[in-house]
Amino acid sequence: MKIDWNRKYTTVAVYSFIVIACSIVFYLISSQVKVFSNKISDFIAILYPFIIGFAIAYLLNFILKFIENRIISEKMKGKSPARVRAISMLLTYLVAGTLCYLFVHFVWPELLESIIGLFNDIPNYVNNATVMINKLIEEFNLTPASMEILESKWKELTDFIMNFMTDIIPVIGNTIMVVISSLWNIVLGVIVSIYLLKDKEKFFAISKKITYAIFNREHSYKILELTHRANKIFGKFLGGKILDSFIIAIITFVILTIFKMPYTLLVTVIVGVTNVIPFFGPFFGAIPSVILVRFVSPIKAFWLLIIILIIQQLDGNVIGPKILGDSIGVSAFWILFALLIAGKFLGLVGMLLGVPLFAFIYSIIKDVTEERLDKKGLPVNTDDYMN
């Protein structure tokens, strides 16, 4: 039976029913938050292989498109698309598998050795720093009250460092155990990613078909346009930041090796990983790296700080703009705003995805604002409102 939305009482009755139903659902959820959250957690746990598979497919799609469009398509003109896709996917997973193998075989053992060595050497570093501070206190001939305050603060700092290192070991162990226990989900995720990449055009066509079936033509066009826009913003940002961070990691490793810095590989990984985070990433990478090297040699710690500053200037002014371009399309103020808000609510993931998410929302607000201004016959350029 088709509802006549033009009839006043029918419309009021339907809207009343929707409001009452939503109120009942909201009451049931709010009165049993723990049960509801546990059900949600169980449901998400079931979807883990598909979530992992989608993430793997989304990241590998950058490699797949490059191989398929730049390498295979030119050498296999006239061949069936299925064959081109199969060979491109084989090469894509070979590249990804080779990178994982190189990391596990060469980087991971050295990284683990550096971390274990750091934990073992921390008591010696603390003792050496304590001796140095005591010498400084004697040379400056501080008053007993100043010495007591300084010693108290130093004891608080050393206790914090020792507690942090003691607490972080179980965290690393638990993380490793979670990864190991999730190996089956990762394997299933890889299988899911293969199916997603193999038939990605078909999946998109199905989504497009469902969209046209549910919404009218105008709304369908807008939804699909927003989907393309979100994919473009997130794709360019994530792909560009990963490539940019990889280049920065290589440059950092080469320079630190030349200068014979301690914990070269560990510092390289810290700098490379934190560089993915916009704006705050260089600070997150520089501070712990300099502190680590400071325990070994204050002079080398100073030079490390200079090296990181030079590399970050190179990244911010040359490498980053060349790779990322204007993929975000928002000012530095809004980038900082997005990082603070998303980081507060979503932590590290929010700091990574907050900027492209805000850029996407910002683009929608911009379109709506300019469309309304255009209908009113007002200028849409921001510069026209400066005076």
Return the H-helix or E-strand segment holding 109.
helix 108-140
Selection from 169, 162, 166, 164 nearest residue 126 by Cα: 162
For residue 6, what are its two tokens? 């033009």
- pLDDT digits 0-9 by tens, 16-41: 788 888 887 777 666 666 776 777 77
Count of positions (residues) in the chain? 387
Contact of 205 with 327, CB cutoff 8 Å? no
pLDDT at 141: 66
The total of other beta-carbon atoms located within 10 Å of residue 15's CB is: 10
Question: What per-residue confidence (pLDDT) applies to 294?
Answer: 79
pLDDT of residue 174: 64
Both structure tokens of 187? 């394997």
83-109 b/e with 16+ CB inside 10 Å = b? ebbebbbebbbeebeeeeeeeeeeeee
CB atoms within 10 A of CB 163: 10
DSSP string, 55-86: HHHHHHHHHHHHIIIIIIHHHSTTS-HHHHHH
Per-residue pLDDT, averaged over 95-109, amounts to 85
pLDDT tens digits for range 319-346: 877 776 655 666 777 777 887 888 777 7
Please tell me the pTM assigned to this model: 0.70
Helices (H), the chain: 8-31, 33-46, 48-66, 73-75, 81-102, 108-140, 144-181, 183-198, 200-214, 217-258, 264-274, 281-296, 298-314, 320-324, 332-375
Q: 175 is written with which tokens?
A: 């993380």
User: Which pLDDT does position 7 carry in this prediction?
Assistant: 61
Instruction: Please give the average per-residue pLDDT across 8-15, as a whole number.
Output: 70
Looking at beta carbons, which pairs linking 109-115 to residues 24 or more positions away fall under 8 Å? 110/265, 111/265, 111/266, 111/269, 114/263, 114/265, 114/266, 115/172, 115/266
Tens of pLDDT, residues 118-131: 677 767 766 776 67
pLDDT of residue 251: 92
Q: Where are the domains of the chain?
A: 1-46, 233-325, 328-377
pLDDT, one tens digit per residue, over 123-166 is: 776 677 667 766 766 666 666 666 677 667 767 766 666 665 56
The answer to whether the beta carbons of residues 194 and 182 sit under 8 Å apart is no
For residue 358, pLDDT over 80 is answered with: yes
pLDDT in tens, 166-218: 655 565 666 666 666 678 888 899 999 999 999 999 999 999 999 999 888 88
Give the model's pLDDT for residue 80: 80
Angle between helices 298-314 and 217-258 (to 10 degrees): 140
